[in-house]
């Protein structure tokens, strides 16, 4: 896939929250009626608008923003650049990438506010999809976080990831799988609950500039594709979770807390992962 010129480009934004500026604790990212979450929600909206502004300034003609954090009702269109469409709500088949198939090509994807994988060291709030379920995760034998898995799904649909923002561990993962992407560091994690943070204003300025570069980078980028059939190996937190997981078609048990999701392609593997996350949430509530 090639992006010929910026003005023909559609932009897809998958917006997470843990990797945004000045975020270091679960209290700040769990939807709740308190000041900590309200502040972080405003930070997220500002960062989304920053990349949208940069993209439209550089010739993008359309944009889709998918709320990709927690219950996925953090953005909901309020305060977002009116030129963008917003995908909101948790019951989405493609989860963190819902709406990625709605773009008119050529298109590029931005991963905003992403965070370190569950196996990452010195990563604020490090996890892979669910900290209550996934202890380790590998895609076709390679350790994988949300950057890798979501990039592989976007790649299946021919869409390259050209911008990733988050802490240094997030950007290290991005450099391994989508080295052509423009990377914006929002903070330097010191551990699970601490980081040296840039100001929100500085991060937004960097994101706006980076988004313009990321639109132009489409021509030099390529979709991240993985070999098929696809296998996602997961170590669960408990054996009870593995007990339930192996009941799902397409999942086999390989150890006490080890399971493997097998599927013919990345969308099928991702949907199976989404089903596993939904089942765990249901039995844990």
pLDDT at position 3 over 80 = no
For 196, list phi and psi in degrees, rounded to 5: -90, 115
Higher pLDDT, 90 or 98: 98
Q: How far is CA 1 from CA 6, 62, 164, 225, in A?
A: 14, 18, 19, 12
Write the DSSP string, 149-179.
Answer: HHHHHHHHTT--EEEEEEEHHHHHHHHHH-T
Sorted by where each starts, the structural domains of the chain and their CATH numbers stand as: 6-127+146-220 (3.40.50.10780), 230-284 (3.30.1360.130)
Would you state the pLDDT for residue 56? Answer: 97
- Average pLDDT estimate for 19-42: 96
pLDDT for 5 beyond 60? no
Task: List all residues 6 or more positions away from 141 whose beta carbon is below 8 Å from its beta carbon.
Answer: 231, 233
Structure confidence by residue, pLDDT tens digits, 226-283: 999 999 999 999 999 999 999 999 999 999 999 999 999 999 999 999 999 999 988 7
For the record, the structure tokens of 205 come out as 């300025």
The arithmetic mean of pLDDT across residues 157-177, rounded, is: 97
| Distance separating the N- and C-terminal Cα atoms of the chain | 43
Q: Which whole number is the average pLDDT over 107-122?
A: 97
Residue 284 pLDDT class (50, 70, 90 cuts) = confident
Of residues 105 and 179, more confidently modeled: 179
C-alpha triplet 101, 103, 106: angle, nearest 5°: 115
pLDDT at 250: 97
Q: Where are the beta strands (DSSP E) in 31-149?
A: 62-67, 84-87, 107-112, 134-139, 142-143
Percentage of the chain modeled with pLDDT above 90: 90
Instruction: Give me the count of residues in the chain.
Output: 285
**What rounded mean pLDDT belongs to the chain?**
94
């Amino acid at each position: 896939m090639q992006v010929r010129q910026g003005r023909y480009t559609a932009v897809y934004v998958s917006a997470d929250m843990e990797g945004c500026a000045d975020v270091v604790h679960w209290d700040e990212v769990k939807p709740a009626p308190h000041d900590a979450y309200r502040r972080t929600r405003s930070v997220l909206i500002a960062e989304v608008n920053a990349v949208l502004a940069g993209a439209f300034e550089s010739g993008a003609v359309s944009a889709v923003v998918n709320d990709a954090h927690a219950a996925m009702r953090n953005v909901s269109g309020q305060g977002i650049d009116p030129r963008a469409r917003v995908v909101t709500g948790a019951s989405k088949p493609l989860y963190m990438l819902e709406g990625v198939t709605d773009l008119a090509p050529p298109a590029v994807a931005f991963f905003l506010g992403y965070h370190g994988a569950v196996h990452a060291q010195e990563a604020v709030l490090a996890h892979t999809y669910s900290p209550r379920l996934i202890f380790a995760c590998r895609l076709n034998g390679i350790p994988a976080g949300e950057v890798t898995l979501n990039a592989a799904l976007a790649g299946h649909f021919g869409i390259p990831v050209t911008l990733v923002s988050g802490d240094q561990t997030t950007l290290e993962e991005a450099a391994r799988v989508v080295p052509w992407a423009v990377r914006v560091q929002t903070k330097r994690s010191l551990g699970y609950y601490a980081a040296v943070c840039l100001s929100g204003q500085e991060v937004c300025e960097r994101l706006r500039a980076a988004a313009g570069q990321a639109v132009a980078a489409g021509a030099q980028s390529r979709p991240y594709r993985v070999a098929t059939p696809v296998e996602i190996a997961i170590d669960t937190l408990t054996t009870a979770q593995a007990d339930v997981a192996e009941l799902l078609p397409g999942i086999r048990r390989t150890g006490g807390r080890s399971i493997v999701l097998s599927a013919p392609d990345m969308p099928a593997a991702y949907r199976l992962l989404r089903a596993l996350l939904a089942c765990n949430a249901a039995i844990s509530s």
